[in-house]
Amino acid sequence: MKNIFKTLTLVLLTQSVFAQLPPIFGTKYQSTSSTSDMVKTYLIPQKIIWQSDNSGKNIQNPSALLKMGNRQVAVNDKDLFRFISTAENKPAIVLDYGKEIHGGIKISMGIRPSKEPLKLRLRFGESVGEAMSDIGGTQNATNEHSLRDFIVEVPWLGSVEVGETGFRFLRIDVVEGNENAPIKSIEAAFIYRDLPYLGSFECSDERLNEIWATGAYTVHLNMQNYLWDGIKRDRLVWVGDMHPEVMTINTVFGANEIVPKSLDLARDQHPLPEWMNGISSYSMWWILIHKSWYDYQGNLAYLNEQEKYMTTLLDQLSTFIDKDNKEILNGGRFLDWPTSTDPKAVHAGLQSMMIMTFEAGSDIMQTLGNKKLHDKYNLIAQNLKKHKPEGNTSKQAAALMSIANIADSKNTNTTILKKNGVENMSTFYGYYILEAMAKAGDYDGALKVIREYWGGMLDLGATTFWEDFDVLDVANSGRIDEVTPTNKKDIHGDFGEFCYVGFRHSLCHGWASGPTPWLTQYVLGIQSLDGGNTIKIEPHLGDLKYAKGTFPTKKGILKVSHIREANGKIKTTINAPKGIKIIQ
């Protein structure tokens, strides 16, 4: 598994990462269709997880599904996989495609006496448990957002391609008795954006390398027509959730049209005075994303296009501040799901976000040459800091308070962020918790959090990062890539709250990619300033012996290398593209 991500991380900059798919993907076939930079690639399964019959009577030659074929059915194909059903025994099999992907499945059948279509039940799963589940029940498998449990008919001596969801596993059941069906292939149709990984990260800790690459891949899968939140569920543009994703795109892919396209969609779908997605904080995240996007990409013309909507939004936000400089936002009052039942946390987080938003708005107005609005929004931000929210104990809101400079960063880190280790974290706000730990100078602590929290998902078989992860659920739970033993809990199906109960829980959510930009920002020490014209490099290796990588600037690829020498000092080597100013 480690070599998979190392291959992804070190991929040549001039080629797509998927042009060099590592062994886990097995045989691939180049796209049969292409729209813009979206392509489709066919993958054979890597492993058979489970089969209902091991006697050779109802399931024959299953290993044939794991071999490369010519993708063309023929009347004289030999040694095919075969389903043989009876009225009493309808066989089934579970396939593992090795890695979470987005797309569907293509099934090809050979020649047989009956020319009637073969009915098969397909169940896609992000985990083995989900692929083995039925819709509903206590484990809450669903067909919402994308169909993942349905019956398909496969033609005699032909193929059928169906499905559009996020999955790694597929269960196939024969629906009817008295079938004798030779199956030539069951291929995954993998749909993705064909992009080079311009950014990379490698250090002396292979676990961190794997985490960095997993975050990058998680966001990559969600870069479909728009920047989605998840590829199985929440195939939507959720603006707040986009911020960690956009930071990952800045770090890995550089300027990509999907970001402005998604930001513009959100703006146009929610004319003021509507809040984006019905949530006031998400309208604030829209401004904060624009600030980050400009800081990295420096597209002044695009920023200018946002001025009218942005200033109207900022003025609207300013009407939700009371005489004591306290936010009184209406609409959906939301940070993330784990804090949603804690009013003190929500207020503390929203107060912090108001400060961050008006500071970002002030900076943007300065960039656009509007001194009057720069001063106006800066004054609002400073007044908002006069109100100090009390009673918050959540890590999410505490992180925002630290970032917004209304709580002491070191004390917050010690008393709240580090309390009980990685308990009570969320994958979305994990990025801001890491940011707050960096602000407190606790880089060693942040690396420990990354290894334990995001690494904890990898330890359970994850190949993408999840919508939510509670480390307390790990005890006595099985892995997602195995049939859950009867004496263990299903980490996917037996847990979850709010909108992610049981198998409805997404195991590929772009908002969980925070370690990827964080490791580049703070371990490699790459901070983009001045609309991407200036790069500040200030590494923090913590306990690492070395760290090196690449970063996509607006002028080309920046390469950095940091090595800890025998005397403890860090030797830094920088290869910067022409036109980029470097400060250290």
Reported as a single tens digit per residue, the pLDDT across 48-81 is 999 999 999 999 999 999 999 888 999 999 999 9
pLDDT of 28 over the 60 cut: no
Q: How far apart are the first and last CA of the chain?
A: 36
| pLDDT tens column, 464-489 | 999 999 999 999 999 999 999 999 99
In angstroms, the CA 109 to CA 153 distance is: 11
CA distance 89 to 103: 30
User: What is the longest distance spanned by two Cα atoms in the chain?
Assistant: 83
Nearest to 173 by CA among 73, 257, 91: 91
427 and 469 Cβ atoms separated by less than 8 Å: yes
Contact 177, 85 (CB under 8 A): yes
Question: Kind of pairing, strands 581-583 and 534-537?
Answer: parallel
The answer, yes or no, to whether residue 20 has pLDDT greater than 60, is no
DSSP 258-277: HHHHHHHHHHHHS-TTSPGG
d(CA 171, CA 186): 11
* Average per-residue pLDDT for the chain: 94
8-state DSSP, 140: T
Q: What is the pLDDT of residue 15?
A: 35
Neighbouring CB atoms inside 10 A of 529's CB total: 13
Encode pLDDT of 298-356 as tens digits.
999 999 999 999 999 999 999 999 999 999 999 999 999 999 999 999 999 999 999 99
Q: CATH says 19-193 is which class? A: mainly beta
Distance of alpha carbon 275 from alpha carbon 272, whole angstroms: 7
Q: What does pTM read for this prediction?
A: 0.94
Q: What is the pLDDT at residue 37? A: 82
**What is the residue extent of each domain of the chain?**
19-193, 273-399, 529-583
**DSSP label of 505:** S
